[in-house]
Amino acid sequence: MPLRFLASLLSILLLAGAGLPEKGPLPEKKPATTETEKQAGKSEEKKEEKAVEKNAPPADEKPGAAASDAKPDTVKPEARPEPVLTIKPEDQKEYAACLADLKEIGATFKEEARIDDGKGCGIDKPLTLQTVLPGITLKPEGKMRCETALELARWTKDAVLPAAKVALENEGPLTTINQASSYICRLRNNTANGKISEHARGNAIDIASFSFKNGKSIEIQPRDEDSTLAGAFQRAVTATGCLYFETVLDPGSDEAHENHLHFDVIERKGGYRYCR
């Protein structure tokens, strides 16, 4: 580069630097804040904080809140409806035929008004059985359905009398069948909870003992190991009971039947019978 050009450039820079002031302009000072203005500022800040708190959403609505924090609704289990128990109506033709058969076998009875004790307890066409067969009294008289009375009479004629003639001939003729329960509104085995008893429908009768002309009575009791003729008689009439009734429970079945025979005509599928 020519020396003349460099000299000219240096001269220009020197002239430009000579025109600059030694110090540049300083920024203006911030005016002093008075005490009143300080208090006013704090007041405004508090107002803004309160406004923010007022508009803030509740804790459980804040963005990002966990879904599990919310209390779930308590779901109550649905109550099962209680079964509606009704009184089974009698078929008129079957009922008329039953009455005819009961008269023909020699039983005496009174037809009664319909029984409805609520909760499924009752008999559509009840009767009060007085004598099971000619000369054989049911003591006390018992209310039941005609079908129950007819099966009791058939069992007595076909099974009880022949067994008594063989095993207890010296005791004289059978005069009384002593019953412990016929119609009564209750649950099975007199429990507080459970299924309704067949006694509450007029389908059942409990036999407590048999009385004979000479005054002797054969009471129902545990006799599985009884080798006497009385034991043989009880086992015979118990076993034959299942030929006439759908349910037979004797003292060996459970504690609730230690002193009687339970007979009933409950209907079961396929003609099944329960005898023990």
Q: Report d(CA 71, CA 213) in Å as an integer.
A: 80
Q: Report d(CA 273, CA 240) in Å as an integer.
A: 13
pLDDT at 138: 98
Low-confidence ranges of the chain (pLDDT < 70): 1-84, 189-193
pLDDT at 130: 98
Q: Decide: 220 and 209 in contact? Cβ < 8 Å.
A: yes
pLDDT digits (tens, 9 = 90+) for 144-183: 999 999 999 999 999 999 999 999 999 999 999 999 999 9
C-alpha distances out from residue 50 to 38, 55, 63, 103, Å: 19, 9, 20, 99
CA angle, corner 219, sides to 213 and 222, nearest 5?
150
User: What's the pTM?
Assistant: 0.69
pLDDT at 270: 87
pLDDT at 207: 98
